Amino acid sequence: MTKFTKEDVFYFANFARIGVTDAEAEKFAGQLDDMVGFADILSEVDTDNVEPMTHPLQLFNVLREDVPTDILNREEMLKSVKDHEAGMIKVPNIL
Amino acid sequence: MTLLKKTVAELQTLLHNQEVSVKELTEATFARIAKVDGDVQAFLTTTEEEAFAKAEQLDNQPNAERGPLFGLPIGIKDNIVTKGIVTTCGSKMLENFVPVYDATVVEKVNDAGMVTVGKLNMDEFAMGSTTERSAFKQTHNPWNLAHVPGGSSGGPAAAVAAGEVLFSLGTDTGGSVRQPAAFCGVVGMKPTYGRVSRSGLVAYGSSLDQIGPITRNVEDNALLLSAIAGVDRRDSSSSSLAVPDFGAALTGDVKNLKIAVPKEYLGEGVAKEVKDAVIEALKVLESLGAKWEEVSLPHLKYASPAYYVIATGEASSNLARFDGIRYGYRPVDAKNLEEIYLRSRSEGFGEEVKKRILYGTYALSADHYDDLYVKAMKIRTLIAQDFAKVFENYDVVIGPSSATPAYKIGHLLNNPLTLYANDVLTVPVNLAGLPAISVPCGFTEGLPIGMQIIGKHFDESMLYKIAHAFEQATDFHTSTPTIGEGN
Q: Parse chain B into domains and list their residue ranges.
A: 2-259+435-478
Q: B6 falls in which pLDDT band (50, 70, 90)?
A: very high
Note whether B346 contacts A: Cβ–Cβ < 8 A. Answer: yes
> pLDDT digits over B224-242, tens only?
999 999 999 999 999 999 9
Note whether A23 contacts B: Cβ–Cβ < 8 A. Answer: no
Q: A2 falls in which pLDDT band (50, 70, 90)?
A: low
Residues B390, B397: contact at Cβ < 8 Å? Answer: yes
> pLDDT digits over B437-461, tens only?
999 999 999 999 999 999 999 999 9
Domain count, chain A: 1
Q: Report yes or no on A3 lying in a domain.
A: yes
Q: A95 falls in which pLDDT band (50, 70, 90)?
A: low
CB contact under 8 A, B357 and A8: no
> pLDDT digits over B51-86, tens only?
999 999 999 999 999 999 999 999 999 999 999 999
Residues of chain A contacting B421 with CB distance shorter than 8 Å: 38
> pLDDT digits over B245-277, tens only?
999 999 999 999 999 999 999 988 899 999 999
What's the confidence (pLDDT) of residue A91? 84
Q: Average the pLDDT over A48-77 and give the result.
A: 84
Res. B2: pLDDT tops 90: no
Note whether B431 contacts A: Cβ–Cβ < 8 A. Answer: yes
Residue A34, helix vs strand vs coil: helix
What's the confidence (pLDDT) of residue B469? 98
Distance from the B335 Cα atom to the nearest Cα atom in chain A, whole angstroms:
6
**Separation in Å, CA B374 to CA B366, B369, B378:** 11, 6, 6
Domain that holds residue A8: 1-44
Q: A55 falls in which pLDDT band (50, 70, 90)?
A: confident
Q: Average the pLDDT over B305-311 and give the result.
A: 98
Residue of A nearest to B357 (CA): A16
- Degrees (nearest 5) of the Cα angle B314, B208, B377? 65
Q: A73 falls in which pLDDT band (50, 70, 90)?
A: confident
pTM of the model: 0.97
Q: Average the pLDDT over B135-147 and give the result.
A: 98
- Nearest neighbour of B340 by CB, restricted to A35, A45, A92: A92
**Separation in Å, CA B318 to CA A65, B83, B207:** 28, 21, 11
For residue A19, give the CATH number of its domain.
Answer: 1.10.20
Res. B487: pLDDT tops 60: no
Amino acid letter, A48: D
Per CATH, the architecture of B2-259+435-478 is what?
Answer: Alpha-Beta Complex (3.90)
- pLDDT higher at A67 or B281: B281
Residue A94, helix vs strand vs coil: coil
Residue numbers of B annotated as active site: 77, 152, 176
CB contact under 8 A, A42 and B362: no
Q: Report yes or no on A30 lying in a domain.
A: yes
> pLDDT digits over B403-440, tens only?
999 999 999 888 888 888 889 999 999 999 999 999 99
What's the confidence (pLDDT) of residue B141? 98
Report the alpha-carbon distance of residue B399 to residue B425 in Å, rounded. 8
Residues of chain A contacting B432 with CB distance shorter than 8 Å: 56
Report the alpha-carbon distance of residue B15 to residue B19 in Å, rounded. 6
CB contact under 8 A, A89 and B325: yes
Q: A15 falls in which pLDDT band (50, 70, 90)?
A: very high
* Mean pLDDT rounded to a whole number for chain A: 89
Distance from the B1 Cα atom to the nearest Cα atom in chain A, whole angstroms:
38
What's the confidence (pLDDT) of residue A41? 96
Residues of chain B contacting A18 with CB distance shorter than 8 Å: 342, 345-346, 349, 354, 357-358
Nearest CA to A65 among B199, B233, B229?
Answer: B233
Report the alpha-carbon distance of residue B297 to residue B390 in Å, rounded. 8
What's the confidence (pLDDT) of residue B75? 98
CA atoms within 13 A on the CB side of B39: 19
CB contact under 8 A, A45 and B416: no
What's the confidence (pLDDT) of residue A1? 56
Note whether B330 contacts A: Cβ–Cβ < 8 A. Answer: yes
* Mean pLDDT rounded to a whole number for chain B: 96
Q: Average the pLDDT over B116-138 and give the result.
A: 98
> pLDDT digits over B101-126, tens only?
999 999 999 999 999 999 999 999 99
Note whether A29 contacts B: Cβ–Cβ < 8 A. Answer: no
Report the alpha-carbon distance of residue B37 to residue B44 in Å, rounded. 10
- Nearest neighbour of B336 by CB, restricted to A76, A77, A94: A94
What's the confidence (pLDDT) of residue B384? 97
Nearest CA to B55 among B28, B33, B22?
Answer: B22
